[in-house]
Amino acid sequence: MKRPPKAVLIALLVAGGVAGAWWYKTRHTGTGELVLQGNVEVRQVNLGFKVSGRIETLNVDEGDRVRTGQVLASLEKIYFQDTLAQMRGQSDQAEANYAKLKAGNRPEEIAEAKALVSEREATLTNAKIIRNRAEALLKTPAGSQKTVDDATAAERQADASLNSAREALRLQEIGFRKEDIALAKAQLDERQANLKTVERQLTDADLIAPSDGSVLSRVREVGAIVQAGETVYVLSLTSPVWVRTYVSEPDLGRTKPGMEVSVHTDTPGGKVYKGKVGFISTAAEFTPKTVETTELRTSLVYRIRVVVDGTADELRQGMPVTIDLKPSPERTPVASSTP
């Protein structure tokens, strides 16, 4: 087979040397910094109402920037407000009933019961007098046994009425049963719980931004009837900004969480952002798990998350960026003690 010209071999060797120098320069600068390539992580969330209803307002559109706590959309609230008014009425009714049972009977009611007892006592006294007269007349030709029997029955009836009035007075003074008070308290707690549920539903009729971000898409329109959890907006989270990159296995020992880094884009003269290494994966990626040869072990890479400090409005999700790390000095190999 004919060998390639000597000039071609020299050119290939030079190209290989240039490529190797470029690779080393892109990973290590002259000051020992480690240069990595990465992307701004894509972080988004689908936003929807917690309750069902008809959309009344949509306050933002695609591309708008939103802040945490901002109202993005609202449902019609008339039904929630009517239910809330009903629950408040039922709660007030249960509260009044519980307060009544807990406080007991009014002094006026007790006084009325006492007056009834006095009245029944007077009636019984009069019935006894009538019976005594009837028995005395029975000894004379003017008396009769029927009159005595009627007077005795009236006395017994008056005595029974008096005992009934006395028991009613005792119940008035004791107040309501503990079981009735406990039942009224349970009913009040139930009504108040229902009231809080309706209040939360009314609050949930507003769609609130959970964090700062940008609206990627508006899925629904005004007038649409949506179910709970149905997506209305897709929000791109912009704070904090995370950058995903990878470090090779040989440089893993020189990288640790908390290291300060610099992040910049490909834009000439663009802003340089400061950040820190926030997470280093414990698992290697892009390498077959069953292969553990010495050659392939140096090709292992580990995912790193970089948290960019402050606001970085120019960093868009998915944008490629360059990360400059200043790692700890490489470890000096330990000399073997074996002679």
Q: Please check whether residue 293 lies inside any domain of the structure.
A: yes
- Residue-wise burial string across 11-20, b where 16 or more C-beta atoms lie within 10 A, e elsewhere: eeeeeeeeee
The verdict on 303 and 212 lying in the same domain is: no
Q: Is residue 3 situated within a structural domain? A: no
Per-residue DSSP letters for 116-139? HHHHHHHHHHHHHHHHHHHHHHHT
The whole-number pLDDT of residue 339 equals: 38
Q: In the listed set 181, 212, 237, which residue is the last one of a domain according to the structure? A: 237
pLDDT tens per residue across span 107-132: 788 888 888 988 888 998 998 988 88
Amino acid 197: pLDDT = 96
How far is residue 294's CA from residue 53's CA, in Å, rounded to a whole number? 62
Residues 6+ apart with CB under 8 A from 255: 34, 247, 277, 280, 304, 325, 327
**Are 173 and 90 in a shared domain?**
yes
pLDDT of residue 15: 53
What's the token pair of residue 108? 């006026």
Q: Is the pLDDT higher at 84 or at 331? A: 84
Query: In terms of domains, do 179 and 110 share one?
Result: yes
Q: What are phi and psi of 313, to 5 degrees?
A: -65, -30
**Cβ-contact 207, 72 below 8 angstroms:** yes
Looking at the structure, do residues 96 and 181 belong to the same domain, yes or no?
yes
Instruction: Answer yes or no: is 25 within a domain.
Output: no
Residue 18 scores a pLDDT above 50: no
Same-domain pairing of 113 and 73: no
pLDDT tens per residue, range 159-181? 899 899 888 888 777 777 888 88
Q: Which two tokens stand for residue 159?
A: 């005595």
| The total number of structural domains that make up the chain | 3
Instruction: Assess whether 215 and 67 both reside in one domain.
Output: yes
- Higher per-residue pLDDT: 185 or 135: 185
Domain final residue pick, 174, 200, 226: 200
